[in-house]
Amino acid sequence: MNKKVIEAYAATRKGVIEKITLPFPEINEYEALVENEGCVFCNTTDKMVIENLFATPDYPVLFGHESFGKIIAVGSRVKKYKVGDRVICSNAVVKGYNGTYYSTWGGFATHGVVGDLEAYLGDGGKLDARNAYRGRYAANQIIPADFSVEKAALVFPLAETAGAIRQAGNLQRKRIVVIGTGVVGYFFTYFAKIFGADEVICLGRRQSRVDVALQCGADKGFTDTDSISEYLRKSGGADIVFECSGNWQVFENGLPYLREGGMLAVYAVPHQPYTMHLRGFPENFVCKRISPDVKGALDTVCTLLREDKIQTDLFLTHKWDFDCVPEAYEAVKRGDVIKGLVIIKNR
């Protein structure tokens, strides 16, 4: 490959993925250059970007934010990173528009850029378009260099959800309901048990998906609202309901499961307006929007992975070579994949 360019993938029009070449990334004094090892498909966000459902300003657009790799060069003002560090979430084109390609976020690429946001802000810099993603998610972080590729691949998605679930407070001895049996629902179920919940109950639309949630630690699983409602009525209701499905009827669906004084924690947010009818809901409930917090849970997730307390093969179900990104995306669309890793460069 010509060293003046890199290879990457872009959605060139709705639903169409093509391999492209880009100019070799240029870093500023607060950034570092990354040679990517791999990138994991985000089953929700990447699909929405590719299909023009969400966060797609226009085509052609770069996608993929769950990347990881090794730093090969650093800017003069960088303090956080050094050459050889392993990091997550590099961008082939920093989020925004470079005059030819839009980026949201460009992790399916041979190389990318991460930023030392702390050094930049410490020198008086302001959050701008180039740094907005780094500030919002604190996504550019160092991860263990000795992790297997499977563990490294799961650091970012696990930290996102672990950081979010912690925002609901102490889960010990609580009865938890997780609505949604997609990847996020599985992660929430898994972490709810790790963080001490007494009982975790999942609700999904398909029994096959509910069965996976049971493997993730759910104590009970339901596919119909009448059955879960009856169970919770007899058991006294849930302390916390995590909404992970993105359903716009979240209040009508989730609130009736709560006990008095319980919390509805919303992670997946739909595009339609919410509706709420208070009749039949519990007294004194709390509704809280929870969001990804990679930095806040990074150490916890890395410790759990190092101690083999997270079953990586339960979540990482598929791996592909870099040339197979379009085929990989088709498998994601079919619902065959829990988490799928594209190997960009073998270590």
The DSSP code sequence of 247-316 is -TTHHHHHGGGEEEEEEEEE-S--SSPP----TTPPTT-EEEE----HHHHHHHHHHHHHTT-S-HHHHE
What tens digit of pLDDT does each residue of 133-143 get? 777 667 899 99
Span 316-343, mean pLDDT?
Answer: 96
Q: What is the pLDDT of residue 2?
A: 54
Q: DSSP class of residue 237? A: -
Q: 334 exposed, middle or buried (CB, 10 Å; 0-12, 13-18, 19+)?
A: exposed
| 32 pLDDT more than 50 | yes
| DSSP string across 130-181 | TTHHHHHH----EE-TTS-HHHHHHHHHHHHHHHHHHTT---TT-EEEEE--
Under 8 Å between Cβ of 134 and 93: no
Q: What is the pLDDT of residue 135?
A: 75
- Cα angle 160, 162, 163 (rounded to 5 degrees) comes to 65
Under 8 Å between Cβ of 58 and 105: no
Mean pLDDT of the chain: 92
- Cα angle 117, 123, 125 (rounded to 5 degrees) comes to 60
Closest CA to 195 of 343, 104, 297, 270: 297
More confident residue, 1 or 185: 185
Span 51-73, mean pLDDT?
Answer: 90
Which residues are registered as beta bridge partners of 104?
63
| 25 pLDDT more than 50 | yes
What tens digit of pLDDT does each residue of 226-274 get? 999 999 999 999 999 999 988 777 777 788 899 999 999 999 766 667 6
> Which tokens in the block code for residue 21?
């070449």
| 30 pLDDT more than 90 | yes
> Which tokens in the block code for residue 275?
């509706």
Rounded (10°) CA dihedral 238, 244, 250, 253: -50
CA–CA gap between residue 45 and residue 53 (Å, rounded): 9
The pTM of the full predicted model, rounded to 2 decimals, is: 0.92
Span 305-321, mean pLDDT?
Answer: 96
Q: What is the pLDDT of residue 1?
A: 47
- Written as one letter, the residue type at 255 is L
* Other CB atoms within 10 A of residue 232 CB: 20
> CB pairs under 8 A, 24+ apart, for 303-308?
304/158, 304/194, 305/147, 305/151, 305/154, 305/155, 305/158, 306/144, 306/147, 306/151
Domain annotation for the chain: domains and CATH numbers: 5-158+295-343 (3.90.180.10), 168-289 (3.40.50.720)
* Other CB atoms within 10 A of residue 61 CB: 23
| 277 pLDDT more than 90 | no
The alpha carbon of residue 250 and the mean position of all alpha carbons in its chain are separated, in whole angstroms, by 20
| 107 pLDDT more than 50 | yes
Span 210-229, mean pLDDT?
Answer: 96
What tens digit of pLDDT does each residue of 111-131 get? 999 999 999 999 999 988 778
Which residues are registered as beta bridge partners of 178?
202, 242
Q: 198 exposed, middle or buried (CB, 10 Å; 0-12, 13-18, 19+)?
A: middle
Q: What is the pLDDT of residue 255?
A: 85
| 86 pLDDT more than 80 | yes
Q: What is the pLDDT of residue 281?
A: 74
Residue-level length of the chain = 347
Closest CA to 108 of 343, 347, 337, 346: 343
Percent of the chain with pLDDT over 90: 77
Q: What is the pLDDT of residue 104?
A: 84
Q: What is the pLDDT of residue 150?
A: 97
Q: What number of helices (H) and strands (E) belong to the chain?
A: 11, 18
| 347 pLDDT more than 70 | no
Q: What is the C-alpha end-to-end distance of the chain, expressed in Å?
A: 18
Q: What is the pLDDT of residue 239?
A: 97
| 330 pLDDT more than 80 | yes
Span of 30-34, 67-71, 290-294 with lowest mean pLDDT: 290-294
Span 80-87, mean pLDDT?
Answer: 98
Span of 28-42, 51-65, 148-162, 197-211 with lowest mean pLDDT: 51-65
